[in-house]
Structure 1
Amino acid sequence: MRNVGQQALFDDQNSECVSIEDSAKILGVSGATVRNWIKTGYLKVTSKGQVSRDSVENFKNNISGVEKLNQRANKSKKDTHNHESVAVEFLKKAKSESESLESIGECYESSLSDSYRNKEGIYYTPNDIVNDLLSLKNELTGNETFCDPCCGSGNFLVRALDAGFKPENIFGFDVDHVAVEIAKRRIHEKTGYKSENIKCSDFLQLSISKMAGNYDYIFTNPPWGKKIEKTEKELISKMLKAGSSLDTCSLFYFSCINSLNQGGTLGLLLPESFFNVATYEDARVSALSFQIERLSHYGKPFKGLVTGAVGIVLRKQNCNLQSAIDCTYEKKVFKRNGISFHKNPKSIFNISCTADDAEVIEHIYSIPHITLSGRARWGLGIVTGNNTKYVESSFREGLIPVYKGSDITKNGLKPASIYIPKDFSLYQQVAPISLYEAREKLIYKFISSNLCFFHDADSRFVINSANILITEESFPVPMKTICGLFNSDFMNWVFRKIFNTHKVLRGDLELLPIHDQFLSGNNFVESEYLASINIERTSCGTFRIKR
Structure 2
Amino acid sequence: MGKKDLDNETISISKASEILGISEATVKNWVKLGKLSCISRRPYVFLRADIMRLHKTLDTSEYLKSRRNKTRNSENYIPKSYIDSNSPNYPIIKALIVELTGKHINIRDIIHAYARSFCKSKDIPAGVIDSLLGKAQRALPVTLLDKYPLSYIEGEDTLGMLYISLRRLQEKKSTGSYYTPFYVVDKIVDEAFPKDLPSDMKLMDPACGTGNFLLRLPKGLLPKNVYGSDIDPEAVAIARINLVLKYNIRTASNLDTIKSHILLQDFLKNNSGDHFDLMIGNPPWGFVYSKNEQKVLKELFVSYTGDKNPESFSLFIEKSLESLADNGVMSFLLPESILDVRLHTAIRSLMLGKAQVLSIHYLGEVFDKVQCPCVILTLKKTSKKAKDYKTAVSFSKSRKSEIITKKSFTADSGHLASSSFQLICDDTEYALLKKIESAPHFTLEGNADFALGIVTGSNKTLLSDTALAGYEPVITGKELTKYSLFPARKYLRFTPENFQQCAPERFYRAKEKLFYRFIADEPVIAIDEEGLVSLNSANIIIPHMSGYNARYIMAILNSSVMSFYYRHRFRNMKVLRSALEMLPIAKCSEADQKRLSELTMQPDPAEIDKIVASLYDITDEELALLLRFKVL
TM-score bracket, shorter-length normalisation: 0.7 to 0.9
1:240 aligned onto 2:301: yes
Provide the C-alpha distance between the structure 2 equivalents of 1:479 and 1:233, rounded to a whole number of angstroms.
47
Match of 2:87 in 1: none
Which of 593, 600, 613 aligns to 1:530? It is 613
Match of 1:166 in 2: 222
Is the contact between residue 214 and residue 259 of structure 1 (CA under 8 Å) also seen in structure 2? yes
Give the alignment of 1:20-419 within 5 angstroms.
Answer: 20-25=13-18, 27-47=20-40, 48=42, 49-51=44-46, 71-72=66-67, 76-80=71-75, 88-90=108-110, 92-93=112-113, 96=116, 97=119, 102-135=157-190, 136-137=193-194, 139-162=196-219, 164-191=220-247, 192=249, 193-194=254-255, 195=258, 196-206=260-270, 210-211=271-272, 213-229=274-290, 232-233=293-294, 236-242=297-303, 244=305, 246-289=310-353, 290-317=355-382, 318=384, 320-330=386-396, 331=405, 332-342=407-417, 346-350=419-423, 352-419=424-491
Provide the C-alpha distance between the structure 1 equivalents of 2:573 and 2:106, rounded to a whole number of angstroms.
36
Provide the C-alpha distance between the structure 2 equivalents of 1:390 and 1:18, rounded to a whole number of angstroms.
31
Provide the C-alpha distance between the structure 2 equivalents of 1:232 and 1:92, rounded to a whole number of angstroms.
34
Deviation of 1:410 after TM superposition, in Å, equals: 0.9
Deviation of 1:149 after TM superposition, in Å, equals: 0.5
Q: Deviations over 1:330-375 (max 9, x none)?
A: 3123211211234xx923322x322211221233233443322344
Deviation of 1:257 after TM superposition, in Å, equals: 1.1
SS of residue in 1 equivalent to 2:31: helix
Is the contact between residue 267 and residue 313 of structure 1 (CA under 8 Å) also seen in structure 2? yes
Q: Deviations over 1:435-486 (max 9, x none)?
A: 2122322211111222211122221111121212223x34553222222211
CA separation of 1:199/1:285 partners in 2, compared to 1, >3 Å: closer, same or farther? same
Gaps of 5+ in 2: 77-101, 121-149, 397-404, 600-607
CA separation of 1:88/1:425 partners in 2, compared to 1, >3 Å: closer, same or farther? farther
Provide the C-alpha distance between the structure 2 equivalents of 1:542 and 1:483, rounded to a whole number of angstroms.
23
Match of 1:4 in 2: none
Root mean square deviation, CA, Å: 3.3
SS of residue in 2 equivalent to 1:37: helix
> Aligned AA for 2:316?
F
> Aligned AA for 2:194?
K
> Aligned AA for 2:71?
S
Match of 2:558 in 1: 487
Is the contact between residue 70 and residue 169 of structure 2 (CA under 8 Å) also seen in structure 1? no
CA separation of 1:55/1:169 partners in 2, compared to 1, >3 Å: closer, same or farther? closer
CA separation of 1:10/1:427 partners in 2, compared to 1, >3 Å: closer, same or farther? farther
Higher mean alpha-carbon deviation, 297-306 vs 38-47, is at: 38-47
Deviation of 1:231 after TM superposition, in Å, equals: 7.5
Percent identical pairs in the alignment equals: 29
CA separation of 1:442/1:232 partners in 2, compared to 1, >3 Å: closer, same or farther? farther
Match of 1:453 in 2: 525
CA separation of 1:387/1:123 partners in 2, compared to 1, >3 Å: closer, same or farther? same
Provide the C-alpha distance between the structure 2 equivalents of 1:242 and 1:16, rounded to a whole number of angstroms.
37
Q: Deviations over 1:156-213 (max 9, x none)?
A: 2233352x3321121101122222112111211222242021112221233xxx3473
SS of residue in 1 equivalent to 2:39: strand
Deviation of 1:224 after TM superposition, in Å, equals: 2.4
User: What TM-score do you get using the length of structure 2 for normalisation?
Assistant: 0.75
Deviation of 1:244 after TM superposition, in Å, equals: 4.0
Deviation of 1:143 after TM superposition, in Å, equals: 2.3
Deviation of 1:103 after TM superposition, in Å, equals: 3.6
Q: Deviations over 1:35-59 (max 9, x none)?
A: 2222334334433432367865886
SS of residue in 2 equivalent to 1:184: helix
User: What TM-score do you get using the length of structure 1 for normalisation?
Assistant: 0.86
Higher mean alpha-carbon deviation, 242-251 vs 380-389, is at: 242-251
CA separation of 1:377/1:255 partners in 2, compared to 1, >3 Å: closer, same or farther? farther
Is the contact between residue 229 and residue 265 of structure 2 (CA under 8 Å) also seen in structure 1? yes
CA separation of 1:10/1:500 partners in 2, compared to 1, >3 Å: closer, same or farther? farther
Number of matched residues?
A: 528
Provide the C-alpha distance between the structure 2 equivalents of 1:166 and 1:180, rounded to a whole number of angstroms.
19
Provide the C-alpha distance between the structure 2 equivalents of 1:12 and 1:453, rounded to a whole number of angstroms.
57
SS of residue in 1 equivalent to 2:381: strand
